[in-house]
Amino acid sequence: MMVLEGKSVFGGIAIGKLSVYGKKDHAVKRSRVADTEAENKRFLEAKEEAKRQLAGFYEKAVKEVGEVNAAIFEIHQMMLDDQDYVESVTNMIKTQEVNAEFAVASTGDNFSAMFAAMEDDYMRERAADVKDISNRVISILQGSTAGAITGEEPVILLADDLAPSETVQLDKSKVLSFVTRHGSTNSHTAILARTMNIPALIGVDFPEKLDEAPSGESCLSGNVAAGTDNGASIDGMLGIVDGYQGKFYLNPDEETLAKYRKLKEEDEQKKRLLQELKGKENVTLDGKKINLYANIGGVADVANVLANDAGGIGLFRSEFLYLESEDYPTEEAQFTAYKTVAENMAGKKVIIRTLDIGADKQVGYFNLEKEENPAMGYRAIRICLDRKEIFKTQLRAIYRASYYGTISIMFPMIISVAEVRAIKEIIEEVKAELDRDGLPYKEVEIGIMIETPAAVMISDLLAKEVDFFSIGTNDLTQYTLAIDRQNPKLDNIYDAHHEAVLRMLKMVVDNGHKEGCWVGICGELGADTELTETFLRMGFDELSVSPSMVLRVRDKIRNTDLSKNE
């Protein structure tokens, strides 16, 4: 048995056979061609076929993961038509009299290396995209197909990483879990895992064969804790993915297998019991009610919101529309995303947080300067008020979408009344423009995120300006405790339960209610069931959590009795 560790991107337990995803080995040989015109025609036809395939992937991905996450296939189609890319291939065929496969492979390698060497993070990420489109064209030229899951039995899929074009082609009914060596928590694989509600791990350095595994007692970062059966292929071997603990077991022994079969059964039983809470009210034993909403990052997440019976969307992280785009998303693109979510929620509240770029969420095309302390720098509402046209484009899209559902807007990183008043002036400009253009919209609730100590201390004044507060506990905790939450050396003293944080939460609730504002929490702390009763006693009107946590928090609420003494 081997025990490896990685980073979990979605919790759960999977037990099944392992399948190493076989990326097609596009072995390309250089050969001389006599008819370069015919070879160029062959390349151009393969390129068009690749675009047709990608268009099909886009349509399939829209249904599975939503328009925003499917947009990568439109980007790949555009990259195939890039003049520099096409000219590089055709010129190589013509001047060097080489076969199309070799010209495409060489161009792909050259462009990928060029992107990888760039300083801009966004541009570096395009290196993998160039490789992906080039491999697709080569596959078509060679008449081959990409790797796929064979057999009828669902498997735990192992891969170095999965490109969007690969994940969209997978038969999802045959995937129990994803385990990848590379990737990020916001990778397409991670998004797909969360959408499918299956456990997934990234950063797992699994071997192709057991004798290739590193040795050692530590199992951190994918090191092997124990290993046997050297030389055996892991493809087809039994495996266990523990998405809660971030552990991956290869060829588990009988004791471990029995343990995880029992844990999986208990896990599924808990899920079944939670399903019985669907349609039930979020009300305590003594009659106290609270709204329970869900946080989302894009259109694709709405399915999970509905599946978990959330009462609305308490945080739509609109910055993911920007993070997943190669350029500023247009008003129409944003309008379509917001409208789709509003319509799918069928009248339930959808709270859209305006652009929160900066700090740990960088976008290359914003051309933000490097900062020594970006968490407290040029970010969020500061960028929006400074780059007014970007802000107005987003507000126009949101207001237009409001006509199709129940939308509210909240603004991040507020520290002053002046900022709120500046925002309201821009909103009036946007509404006047929409009136002039004859575009319908509804009046919407306006709120702000309370995530700075400054906003807490003047929450009595801010409450006079807005309809609601939503507390971002992640940032509020780090600013209050002067602890960078991205710094792992400080994990042992980062305490979201700190008395200072809890006192601030109570202060915000009291000040908000005095001025008629409703108050909620949309940070990670909202899902902390150890504090659910505390939040109810404080008087919070709403909690917004990840979709998968809705029923667990509802269960906690329904088993709480506030009439008892604390």
Dmax of the chain from CA atoms?
90
Q: Are 199 and 6 in contact (CB under 8 A)?
A: no
In terms of DSSP H, where are the helices of 276-415?
302-307, 319-323, 331-344, 381-386, 388-402
Give the Cα-Cα-Cα angle 185, 189, 194 (nearest 5 degrees): 70
| Sequence letter at residue 183 | G
Closest to 478 measured CA to CA, from 490, 464, 465 = 490
**What b/e sequence results for 175-211 when a residue is b if at least 16 CB atoms lie within 10 Å of its CB, and e otherwise?**
bbbbbbbebeeebbbbbbbbbbbbbbbbbbbbbeebe
Which segments of 160-235 are extended strands (E)?
A: 175-180, 200-202
CA-based Rg of the chain, rounded to a whole angstrom?
Answer: 26
188 is catalytic: yes
What's the token pair of residue 256? 């471990």
Cα-based torsion angle of the residue sequence 485, 493, 532, 449 in order, rounded to the nearest 10 degrees: -30
Across-strand partners of 295? Answer: 315
Q: Are 504 and 456 in contact (CB under 8 A)?
A: yes
Catalytic residue (choose from 26, 76, 188, 517): 188
Name the 3-class secondary structure at 19.
Answer: strand
Residues contacting residue 282 through CB under 8 Å, at least 6 positions apart: 289, 290, 291, 292, 311, 553, 554, 557, 558
| Sequence letter at residue 11 | G
Closest to 352 measured CA to CA, from 289, 394, 390 = 394
Name the 3-class secondary structure at 200.
Answer: strand
- Residues with a catalytic annotation lie at 188, 522
